[in-house]
Amino acid sequence: MSSKMGTICIVLTALAFGTMEISLKIAGNAFTPFQLTFLRFLVGGILLAPLAFRDIQKRHIHLIASDWGYLAVLGLINIGFSMILFQVGVNMSNAGLAAIVFSSNPVFVMIFSHFIIHESFTRKKVITLILSILGLLIVANPIAIIRSGNFGLCISALASIAFALYTTLGKLRIEKLGGNVENSFSFLIGCTFLLIVLLFHGDPILGGITTTTIVPLLYCSFVVTGFGYLCFMKAIELTGPSNASFSFFLKPVIALFLSAIILSEPVTLSAIVGLVLILAGCTLAGPIERLIFHQHAIGEIQRMQTHPAWVTEQQTKPLVITISREFGAGGRNVGKLIAKQLGVPYYDTAIINMARKEKGFSKQFIKAHEEAIGNRILSNLYDNYTHYASGVNSDRQMLFDEESKIITDVAKISSCVIVGRLANYILRDRANTFDVFISSDPEWAAQRIMLREHVDHDQAIRIRNRVNRQRQDHCRYFTDSYWGYGANYDLSLKSSDYGTAQTANIILQVVQRRLRVTEEETSPNYHLTPALQK
């Protein structure tokens, strides 16, 4: 039932947001941009207020002075600048085209995120950026803008950039405040700013409301701004942020075709091509990257350039051994043996239990998002578009972030062994960390799986292949690198060649040797004969 209701909420969100530009253009004929923006976000902020106060009470949020200042900045950027510009842009241009232009805001969020919250700018994002900007140029048609002198789409583009800044800044405290609090309070604070402007200029606040204009005004205020956000928040609750954010992908498509039906605006070939390029850039960036760069598209994790064996911090940092492993290769047994011999804590599923306790994740939530990526098309869509459009993190990302925090914390406390959880990536910039990858022959792994899972040989092989594929996808999703890629580890070996006990001994011997290695010994020419050196 919740799944069906979640789907209904996604569709309703897409319809509400998809008709935004149409209703704004109709209502914009009777109200000034400041007046209309004030009225619709005042209603939206009030409608979201109960959810905001619920979150404050439920999550024990305590708003301090800096939080109110932060919300004021968000309100000023979004309501006082972005939405005013967008209203002006919609009034001056084609509503469907304005919707497409505004839908490019996730591209600008990628750029702002790189500089403000230091998100890496990957090849996939570059591809998304190029295709989306190309699509934006085709839709806006700068030559036609110059000839006509109508800069409505340019103003809509500025609104899109400002909204991207608002979305990016919103990520800074989203974990503390939550989306409901940020949206509701920033809406109301932004409306307070607009009210001051309206009063200062003597502009009408409620003037212009008639039996004719009340319908588009109510639609903009209650349906688009209020009901749309409520449906979106409910969709997140029922289906998760990834699925709920699909509505942002549908929005420009709905807006383009409904504007043709309701406003009789032409659906041009350039509008369709531009929209397809923007959305294709967001959904197909990964496949395009692999097509262009082949196997070199994803490789070595960027990590410390200084060898961990002789960094000055090494002696003050506990030794952490991370073990990544193929399913059935005995990685857990190896990790436990190493931890026992060193007399240090061992972590694998314990980290998941810590995350559950810290954030209250259910067992079903953990099982659904622990490693499986699920629908790759939706994952690509969420990563490259809807995450940036909505400003919310996926359930999978929230779980990974919490596990990353726990791994970072336990690595500070004492020496330990961590199996799985992409610990080698999470601790990539940490000194005195030794990363291992353990593989095995398929048949050797199958025999272990048969004994542990009580299944036949064919089932064991299928389980091994499925879990390894999930781990590969999981690694690529979060690290943009190959799972098992040799350069990402200090040691790679096959447990089937040595057995689990001897594999543990080999790792310990190599760790002890690595900690004593000198910088001279790692020189490319070390131990080469004079003839070879020449």
pLDDT over threshold 90, residue 68: yes
- Asked which of 99-103, 241-245, 477-481, 489-493 is least confident by mean pLDDT, the reply is 241-245
Domain co-membership, 433 together with 482 = yes
Residue 521 lies in a domain: no
Domain final position from 238, 273, 292: 292
Q: What is the pLDDT of residues 116-165, one digit of tens each?
A: 877 777 777 787 788 888 888 888 888 877 877 778 889 999 998 998 88
Domain co-membership, 215 together with 336 = no
pLDDT over threshold 90, residue 179: no
Domain co-membership, 56 together with 193 = yes
* Residue that wins the pLDDT comparison between 278 and 334: 334
Residue 223 lies in a domain: yes
d(CA 74, CA 466) in angstroms, rounded, equals 44
Residue 104 lies in a domain: yes
Residue linked to tokens 């708003």: 63
Residue 306 lies in a domain: no
pLDDT confidence of 517, banded at 50, 70, 90? low
pLDDT over threshold 50, residue 311: no
Quote helix, strand, coil % in the chain, to nearest 5: 70, 5, 25
Q: Residue 101, SS3? A: helix
Q: Is 523 exposed, middle or buried (0-12, 13-18, 19+ CB in 10 A)?
A: exposed
Residue linked to tokens 């400002």: 162
Mean pLDDT of 282-308: 59
pLDDT at 123: 73
pLDDT confidence of 313, banded at 50, 70, 90? very low
Domain co-membership, 325 together with 287 = no
- Joined together, the tokens standing for residue 49 give 């207020």
Point out which residues pair with 416 in neighbouring strands.
320
Domain co-membership, 212 together with 336 = no
d(CA 12, CA 8) in angstroms, rounded, equals 6
Angle at 373 between CA 251 and CA 441, to 5 degrees: 155
d(CA 84, CA 362) in angstroms, rounded, equals 42
pLDDT confidence of 522, banded at 50, 70, 90? low
Residue 529 lies in a domain: no
Domain co-membership, 162 together with 82 = yes
What CATH number does the domain containing 359 carry? 3.40.50.300
Instruction: Return the C-alpha torsion angle 268, 270, 271, 276, nearest 10.
Output: 130
Best mean pLDDT range from 331-340, 359-368, 387-396: 331-340
pLDDT over threshold 50, residue 309: no
pLDDT at 197: 92
Domain co-membership, 273 together with 328 = no
Best mean pLDDT range from 280-284, 368-372, 518-522: 280-284
Alpha-carbon 292 to chain mean position: 24
**DSSP tally for the chain: helices H, then strands E:** 29, 5
pLDDT at 487: 79
- Joined together, the tokens standing for residue 212 give 């004719």
pLDDT at 64: 93
Mean pLDDT of 161-175: 85
- Joined together, the tokens standing for residue 154 give 């340019």
Residue 305 lies in a domain: no
State which residues form the domain around 235: 1-292
Best mean pLDDT range from 75-84, 130-139, 350-359: 75-84
* Residue that wins the pLDDT comparison between 66 and 247: 66
Amino acid at 290: R
Q: Is 372 exposed, middle or buried (0-12, 13-18, 19+ CB in 10 A)?
A: middle
pLDDT at 534: 45
- DSSP conformation class of 186: H
pLDDT at 357: 60
Q: Kindly report the backbone phi and psi dihedral angles of residue 436, in degrees, each rounded to the nearest multiple of 5, phi listed first.
A: -125, 145
pLDDT at 528: 53
pLDDT at 90: 92
pLDDT at 295: 47
Domain final position from 275, 292, 309: 292
* Residue that wins the pLDDT comparison between 66 and 372: 66
pLDDT at 312: 42
Domain co-membership, 259 together with 341 = no
Residue 298 lies in a domain: no
Domain co-membership, 362 together with 501 = yes
- Nearest CA to 241 among 71, 59, 388, 50? 388
Mean pLDDT of 214-229: 84
Contacts of 472 (CB under 8 A, 6+ apart): 482, 483, 484
Q: What is the pLDDT of residues 5-64, one digit of tens each?
A: 777 888 888 888 889 889 999 988 888 899 999 998 998 889 889 988 998 988 888 999
Domain co-membership, 240 together with 344 = no
d(CA 369, CA 476) in angstroms, rounded, equals 15
Domain count, the chain: 2
d(CA 384, CA 378) in angstroms, rounded, equals 10
Residue 385 lies in a domain: no
d(CA 94, CA 368) in angstroms, rounded, equals 43
pLDDT over threshold 60, residue 427: yes
* Residue that wins the pLDDT comparison between 259 and 171: 259
Domain co-membership, 367 together with 487 = yes
d(CA 165, CA 22) in angstroms, rounded, equals 24
pTM for this model (two decimals): 0.68
Mean pLDDT of 498-507: 89
Percent of the chain with pLDDT over 70: 78
Q: Is 5 exposed, middle or buried (0-12, 13-18, 19+ CB in 10 A)?
A: middle
pLDDT at 532: 44
Alpha-carbon 194 to chain mean position: 32
Domain co-membership, 118 together with 176 = yes
Average pLDDT along the chain:
80
